[in-house]
Amino acid sequence: MLRKLLGRVDDGRFGRALAGMQAGWKWKCRMRQAGLVEGFVRHGSKEYMVVIEQRGRCGIARCGCEDAIKRGVLCKHVAFAAMSELGLAAAARSAHRQLPEL
């Protein structure tokens, strides 16, 4: 679901999320359960709350930033959160642990 969600992020925002990863943005997960993840993306002095939720086979996402609220798009923070969760799930699998499926 997270990969499908990432597929719906436009190229510019996806690129900015990757740049954020290189620049050391932080993903702080507050809640993770089957079909729902919630947390904060931090960079510099800014912090945005991101919620990603499974709806059927798709995902919906919300972020507190202006881009997401005013334009109704999947913003760079959502992309960053989704990439971070995919990375954490992959790391957990490598360590033979299992995170709730998203």
List contacts with Zn ion (CB under 5 A).
Answer: 48, 63, 65, 68, 75, 77
**Cβ atoms of residues 81 and 30 within 8 Å:** no
Q: How far is the CB of 96 from Zn ion (least distance, A)?
A: 33
Spell out where 1-102 has E strands: 26-33, 36-43, 46-55, 58-63
Residue 45 or 94: the one with the smaller Cβ distance to Zn ion is 45
Query: Between residues 52 and 65, which has the closer beta carbon with respect to Zn ion?
Result: 65
**Under 8 Å between Cβ of 15 and 7:** no
Least distance (Å) from Zn ion to the CB of residue 20? 11
